[in-house]
Amino acid sequence: MGAIAAGLQACHERIEKACAQAGRASSSVRLLAVSKTFPARAIRDAWQAGQRAFGESYLQEALDKMVDLADLGAEWHFIGPIQSNKTRPIATHFDWVHGIDRLKVAQRLSEARPPASPPLQVLIQVNVSGESSKSGIAPGEALALDLARAVRTLPHLCLRGFMTIPRPSPDLAVQRAQFRVLADLLAQARLAGMDLDTLSMGMSDDLEAAILEGTTLVRVGTAIFGARTYP
């Protein structure tokens, strides 16, 4: 077995174990393989090992790989910060966008989504750690719910839920507390009548904590593809 297939298998085992501990079905957690900085052939190896959804953070790098990999029909998630002058290529080439943090960007993505494509699946990014350097809307519930309501009115987007990148911590309790903020927000949105089903939280170092707090999509790079030479 190649290194990437082995990384994927180890990841699925971690997901299954954490799901068992949380009393959840392992099918309730999707694995997004974060392939940023890795070449197209690494994605092809992961595809051959059964992986179908890939996350990219750098637009031009992603577009170049998509050309090489057009034959696969992979599901592409844009997980990087969104510059408002890049909304058209993002809306054209991706299936999902995780980093919506202001209405303007959501409006531009909706306007730029090709009408023949299915709605772009989107997540609102929430800054659960309150770090000013990180992108994402502040977790104050009212603001996040207002943004969610507004995004739900846009015709070519489908709001699926929330995403977060918490401050890294080695402490499971701290990891869980940060993820719980996002899980609570999803619960509030549902109580307010929004039919959202996705929590994008958990990465290589904290996916167990995210699973214990109800994540439905873990974004894993290093544990599948190995260490990156740039972020």
Residues 223 and 70: their CA atoms lie apart, in Å, by: 25
Shortest Å, Cβ 152 to ligand PLP: 23
CB of 29 to ligand PLP, least distance (A): 14
Neighbours of 101 (CB within 10 A): 21
* Binding residues among 44-63 for ligand PLP as defined by CB under 6 A: 57
Say how far apart CA 133 and CA 31 lie, in whole Å: 27
Based on CB atoms, which residue is closest to ligand PLP, 116 or 199? 199
Q: Judged by CB under 6 A, does residue 221 bind ligand PLP? A: yes
When asked if residue 203 is in the footprint of ligand PLP (CB under 6 A), the reply is yes
- Minimum distance, C-beta of residue 134 to ligand PLP, in the bound complex (Å): 10
Task: Name the H helices within 81-215.
Answer: 87-93, 103-112, 141-152, 172-191, 207-212
> Does 222 interact with ligand PLP (rule: CB under 6 A)?
yes
**At residue 182, what is the residue type?**
L
Given 4, 69, 79, 157, the residue binding ligand PLP (CB under 6 A): 79
Q: Which residues pair with 157 in a beta bridge?
A: 120
Instruction: Check residue 29 for interaction with ligand PLP (CB under 6 A).
Output: no
For 161, the 3-state DSSP assignment is strand
Under the criterion CB under 6 A, does residue 15 sit at the interface with ligand PLP?
no
Q: From CA 171, how far away is CA 160, in angstroms rounded?
A: 29
CA 212 to CA 215: how far, in whole Å?
Answer: 8
Q: Which stretch binds ligand PLP (CB under 6 A): 18-26, 64-72, 137-145, 218-226?
A: 218-226
Binding site for ligand PLP (CB under 6 A): 34, 36, 57, 79, 165, 203-205, 219-223
